[in-house]
Amino acid sequence: MARTRARRVVVVGGGVAGLAAALELCRAGVPVDVLCATSLRRSHVEGSPAGLNAALGDGDSPRDHAADALRVGQYLASQARVLALALAAPELVHVVERLGVPLQGRADGSLLLRRLPGSTRPRTAFAGAATGLELVHALDAELARHELAPATDARGAKLPGEPLARRFEHWDLCELVLDGDGACVGCVAQDLRTMDVRAFRAEAVVLAESGPSLARTSSSGVPSAEHALAVALRAGAVAQNLELQAFHPTGLGGPDRQHVLSELAFAEGARLWVPLDRKERRAPEDVPEREREHLGSPGELGMAATARALVRAFAEGRGIFDPEREVLEPLAWLDLEVHKRDAAELELRLGASFETYRALGPRPRTRAGHETLPYRGALKVGVAPGRSLGGLWVDFAARADATADLDSPRNHATTLAGLYAAGPVACSPHGAGALPGDELVGDLFGGRLAARAAAAYRAGSERSASDQPSSTFEAPESAVRAAVEKLREREGDGEDSPYAIADELAQAMGASCGPLRDDAALDALLATQAALAARLEATPCPDRATRANQAVPFMRHLAGALDVARLAVAGARARAESRGVHYKPAAPTRDDAGWLRATLLRLGASGPELVGAFASPFAERVTDAVDTALFAPEPGPAAEPAVRVEAHDEAPRPAKKKKRAGKPADEEPSDG
Amino acid sequence: MAERRLSDKVRVRVLRQDAFDRKDTRRWEEFEVARGERATVLSALRAIQRAPRTVDGRAVAPVAWETPCLEHACGVCTMLVNGVVGQACTSLLDVVAPKGRVSLAPLGKFPLVRDLWVDRQRMTDDLKRVRAFVGYDGSTDALGESPAAQAERLLLASCTSCGACLEACPQYHHDGAYVGAAAINQARLVGLHEGGALDRGARLDALMGDGGIASCGKAQNCVEVCPQGIPLTESLGSVARDTSKRFLFGWLLGARR
């Protein structure tokens, strides 16, 4: 077991939320251990380039920011929590600058702000096209500083040999350690290089790992994936809205994963379209404007509406015709219309987000050379899964007047005492869709809030993990060690491989639990998942090595991913409406009367269980209600696909709507 | 290029070793994978992982390598591709194996973990050694940096700690003192920030010490191989000038520390 006398808090995860939590704990003088399944500067938020939203522009206000965020989240978020983020955001952006992130500014010293889809004003501060990467690096450097500082005890005396912050890179969370009353007093983790297993004593544990990803060929990374979430679920924590997920209308495909083009392109006026002729053989730049059908530039509903327009178009048999293979593919053209603008200026603003595309992207059939893309010609894009919008249920302390109590130990507390969650492992604070630019600032805010709450819990708690007998830790430690050995030595029959099972799971999830959902298909998917779980149980371990064995953690993570995926499908099955990008043709509208509420799920002995109400450490009865006290929900988009009447009669749009079709409702009959 | 017919299969030779202390297990193994459309070295490694069998039909353990992001953002899949430092995720087989053969080996300047997986811990330690952090003071005021200063920092800030510059550097050895271009560039970057400038004296002292800027042999290999295109030689030059100034006039500026 890791020795400590410093009453430490453990943070699991080294992305923006985890590092923000660790730094906040250090600031409060609370010694912290940061566990990360990879090395710290690699955490995957790096793929999140958009920027940081804050009401810093002229005429903008946190209230407007919150109103936009709630509209894009389709009101499925705690309004007090959303407003608290919007109020904190301007200060957080300055903290980010002070941490060393080179946010772009103007000559007068103010920050340059971009207007991303969903925002009614320019509101997004940014560092080139790689804000997430810069932010992780800056936070990581700051943690290094605290690793050089000594920890102190309650009386302020230095504890020799114990730094304020310690980092454990390549350590993978395996189990939570609970005391006799079910409170979390530490965790067991494994060093993925030496395969050593050991317990960490902790006054509180803050989970800040990734959300569901392994099960979805999503744009999130591979190691650790949703394992922290699975570990917490197995310990009895409740999850929320696991069926909800972001889907990007800008998937580029790719040999190894779905690469996704940043929503930054839309801030620069990109448009999506498909040819009206379903057998269009011309290069995209040769198709005249009148023979294109635009699929809704992202407007006030953010990216979700656009992604949904694509989903619908593809479902109705539109797309791009591939003349070589004579098939219509579920893809659309993304056009930056650069003939109207300065390519050099665009390169400066967008270049970094196209790097991967230029290295690995498809070679579209355009007259322009590939090197000049995307500034000449058009890009082929499809719908790709993004970040999960569900995760562990976490508490939030709102006062009677619906304002936030930021000092409460209740914020970001899970259903287990002493266990906190922030970042993607926690249920998204943004609702059924995140306002582009809110994710990074939301992770930063959530991490800090969770850390403050964990510090308050540690200070207010009568007992301490250091009072626990060592047997509390030794038992789970040996259990994990035994499980690891059993997995490593597992023999099996046949040629089945955990990697094949993972591929099949992701494929099945993509086919039946994407943005388009059908109850019968979801039922079939639940059966498929059960079969895959049974196969995984019988699969031999492909590697017998006792050190740096990557198959053992992979199999462990895959079992967890299956558990999480089953809850997600159970949630999707339950939610009988269409909200955000999620589209159930059998229930095609947003149903606020029935479904403006959370989906609460738990991992029961026999599989996923829907939970109506439950008790948490700080509340005797938590329900699935969503608060709407501060902002009255605006009505959702009208019913689909019965749209033509609405588009022509009610929508306050000029007659030339075909040129700038902004809504999925603007459907035109194909005259091809 | 599209005219020439490429082979359907690619033979991948991998330099393997079971652990850092098992030099006796060092060996080349050869695998055959299909050349998929737009397939990369990473695709090949994943194919091997799914069916780890050598060309002579032996079932072996899957090849170990580090692979968090899969999209050219994190830098950890940096390895030697045909003996040249490169990243698995962006090395297209059509480019690195046009004739159907490619060899993969771990970076040589870092302690080996297993197969193609190396331990870059030293890079984190060296960032601490040269005090490459701004020392955030809790302020929440706007920074008000000029666009020119911001642009200069943005250019230097994209380092992913992939280690390519260290692999290519004739002066850098994992048991040697020299911290290399990555840490020195990061120190320069931090020094350009208002907060980082406060700690400038201590940072320059660290850079003047053993293994600091004086160990740079000016081979300029680092800037050639940096996958992020960071002007590393400019950073080395800038830090060299600053440390020289401090060496000559530091006693006059002593109070600024």
Domains of chain B in sequence order: 9-118 (3.10.20.30), 121-256 (1.10.1060.10)
Q: Which chain A residue shows the shortest CA-CA distance from B158?
A: A134
Sequence-ordered list of residues with C-beta below 8 angstroms from that of A409, at least 6 positions apart, any chain: A453, A454, A456, A457, A460, A618
pLDDT at res. A622:
94
Kindly list the domain boundaries of chain A, sorted by start residue. Answer: 9-244+389-478, 248-384
pLDDT at res. B199:
85
Residues of B whose CB is below 8 A from A369: none
Task: For residue B52, give the nearest of A111, A542, A547 by CB distance.
Answer: A542
Q: Which chain A residue shows the shortest CA-CA distance from B126?
A: A144
Q: Which chain A residue shows the shortest CA-CA distance from B61?
A: A543
pLDDT 10s digits, A572-601: 999 999 998 898 989 988 999 999 999 999
pLDDT at res. A368:
46
Do B160 and A100 make contact, defined as CB atoms within 8 angstroms? no
pLDDT 10s digits, B83-98: 999 989 888 898 999 9
Task: For residue B61, give the nearest of A40, A503, A544 by CB distance.
Answer: A544
Please tell me the least confidently modeled range out of A50-64, A257-271, A617-631. Answer: A257-271
Distance from the Cα of residue A379 to its chain's centroid: 25
pLDDT band at A216 (very low <50, low <70, confident <90, very high): low
Q: Which chain B residue shows the shortest CA-CA distance from A256?
A: B43
Q: Are A565 and A500 in contact (CB under 8 A)?
A: no
- Tell me the residues of chain A between 498 and 527 that have a Cβ less than 8 Å away from chain B: 499-500, 503
Say which residue the tokens 């899969």 belong to.
Answer: B70
Sequence-ordered list of residues with C-beta below 8 angstroms from that of A453, at least 6 positions apart, any chain: A408, A409, A410, A411, A412, A413, A420
Q: For residue A402, is it left (φ>0), alpha (ψ between -120 and 50) or beta? A: left
User: What is the reported pTM?
Assistant: 0.91
Interface size between A and B, measured as CB pairs under 8 A: 201
Please tell me the least confidently modeled range out of A233-237, A263-267, A405-409. Answer: A263-267
pLDDT surpasses 70 at A326: yes
pLDDT surpasses 70 at A554: yes
Q: State the nearest Cα–Cα gap between B126 and chain A, in angstroms.
A: 10
pLDDT at res. A540:
94
Distances (CA, A) of A169 to A38, A656, B64, B71, B109: 6, 57, 17, 21, 20
Task: For residue B43, give the nearest of A95, A256, A500 by CB distance.
Answer: A256
To which CATH superfamily is domain A9-244+389-478 assigned? Answer: FAD/NAD(P)-binding domain (3.50.50.60)
pLDDT at res. A655:
38
pLDDT band at A237 (very low <50, low <70, confident <90, very high): very high
Instruction: Compute the mean pLDDT over every residue in chain A, rounded to the nearest whole number.
Output: 85
Say which residue the tokens 């800090």 belong to.
Answer: A448
* Token pair for A87: 């109020």
Do B134 and A47 make contact, defined as CB atoms within 8 angstroms? no
ipTM (interface pTM):
0.93
Per-position b or e across A537-573, b if 16+ CB within 10 A of its CB: eebbbbbebebbbbbbbbbbbbbbbbbbbbbbbbbbb
Say which residue the tokens 């390549």 belong to.
Answer: A170
Please tell me the least confidently modeled range out of A274-278, A294-298, A522-526. Answer: A294-298
Q: State the nearest Cα–Cα gap between A605 and chain B, in angstroms.
A: 32
Q: Is A221 on the interface with B (CB under 8 A)?
A: yes
pLDDT at res. B252:
67
Strand A204-207 relative to strand A419-421, pairing: parallel
Q: Is B45 on the interface with A (CB under 8 A)?
A: no
Identify from A550, A554, A558 which residue to disrupt to test chain B contact, counting B C-beta atoms within 10 A and taking the largest count.
Answer: A550
Q: State the nearest Cα–Cα gap between A221 and chain B, in angstroms.
A: 5
pLDDT surpasses 60 at A268: yes
pLDDT band at A248 (very low <50, low <70, confident <90, very high): confident
Average pLDDT (A236-260) is: 84
pLDDT band at A236 (very low <50, low <70, confident <90, very high): very high
pLDDT at res. A252:
77
Q: What residues pair up with A23 in beta bridges, in sequence order?
A: none
Q: Is A141 on the interface with B (CB under 8 A)?
A: yes
**CA separation for the pair A583, A517 (Å, rounded):** 6
pLDDT band at A356 (very low <50, low <70, confident <90, very high): low
Q: Is B129 on the interface with A (CB under 8 A)?
A: no
Do B142 and A500 make contact, defined as CB atoms within 8 angstroms? no
pLDDT surpasses 60 at A150: yes
pLDDT band at A315 (very low <50, low <70, confident <90, very high): confident
Q: Is A103 on the interface with B (CB under 8 A)?
A: yes
**CA separation for the pair A266, A268 (Å, rounded):** 5
pLDDT > 90: what percent of chain B?
64
Q: Give the residue with greater pLDDT, A223 vs B47.
A: B47
Task: For residue A360, give the nearest of B38, B49, B196 by CB distance.
Answer: B38
Coil, strand, or helix at residue A613? strand
Please tell me the least confidently modeled range out of A123-132, A211-220, A303-312. Answer: A211-220
Q: Is A147 on the interface with B (CB under 8 A)?
A: yes
pLDDT surpasses 90 at A303: no
Question: Helix crossing, B232-253 with B200-208: angle to 10°?
Answer: 110
Please tell me the least confidently modeled range out of A95-104, A294-303, A531-540. Answer: A294-303
pLDDT at res. A645:
28
pLDDT band at A4 (very low <50, low <70, confident <90, very high): low
pLDDT surpasses 50 at B255: no
Distances (CA, A) of A236 to A175, A176, A213, A526, B50: 12, 11, 21, 21, 34
Average pLDDT (B43-61) is: 93
pLDDT surpasses 90 at A529: yes
Task: For residue B50, give the nearest of A27, A103, A499 by CB distance.
Answer: A499
Do B43 and A542 make contact, defined as CB atoms within 8 angstroms? no
Average pLDDT (B133-153) is: 90
Residues of A whose CB is below 8 A from B40: 255-256, 360
Q: Are A294 and A305 in contact (CB under 8 A)?
A: no
pLDDT > 70: what percent of chain A?
84
pLDDT band at A221 (very low <50, low <70, confident <90, very high): very low
Q: State the nearest Cα–Cα gap between B98 and chain A, in angstroms.
A: 16
pLDDT at res. A374:
58
Do B133 and A362 make contact, defined as CB atoms within 8 angstroms? no
User: H or E element: which one contains B186?
Assistant: helix B180-191
pLDDT 10s digits, B192-225: 998 888 888 889 999 998 999 999 999 999 999 9
In the structure, how many helices (H) and strands (E) does chain B have?
10, 7
pLDDT 10s digits, A22-44: 999 999 999 999 999 887 677 66
Peptide bond into A542 cis (omega under 30): no
Task: For residue B157, give the nearest of A102, A147, A359 by CB distance.
Answer: A102
pLDDT at res. A652:
36
pLDDT 10s digits, A431-476: 999 998 999 999 999 999 999 999 999 999 888 888 899 999 999 9
pLDDT at res. B207:
93
Residues of A whose CB is below 8 A from B71: 47, 254, 256-257, 259, 356, 360
Taking alpha carbons only, the member of A23, A19, A20 closest to residue A146 is: A23
Q: Which chain B residue shows the shortest CA-CA distance from A130?
A: B158
Work out whether the CA dihedral B241, B244, B245, B250 comes out positive or negative. Answer: positive
pLDDT 10s digits, A408-441: 999 999 999 999 999 999 999 999 999 989 999 9
Per-position b or e across B45-73, b if 16+ CB within 10 A of its CB: bbbbbebbeeeeeeebbbbbbbbbbbbbb
pLDDT at res. B72:
67
pLDDT 10s digits, A93-134: 999 999 999 998 988 989 999 888 889 999 999 987 778 888
Q: Is B150 on the interface with A (CB under 8 A)?
A: yes
Task: For residue A97, give the nearest of B62, B132, B143 by CB distance.
Answer: B143
Residues of A whose CB is below 8 A from B67: 222-223
- Residues written for chain B: 257
Q: How many CB atoms lie within 10 A of CB A407?
A: 13
Q: Is B147 on the interface with A (CB under 8 A)?
A: yes
**CA separation for the pair A514, A522 (Å, rounded):** 10
Q: Are A354 and A283 in contact (CB under 8 A)?
A: no
pLDDT at res. A643:
33
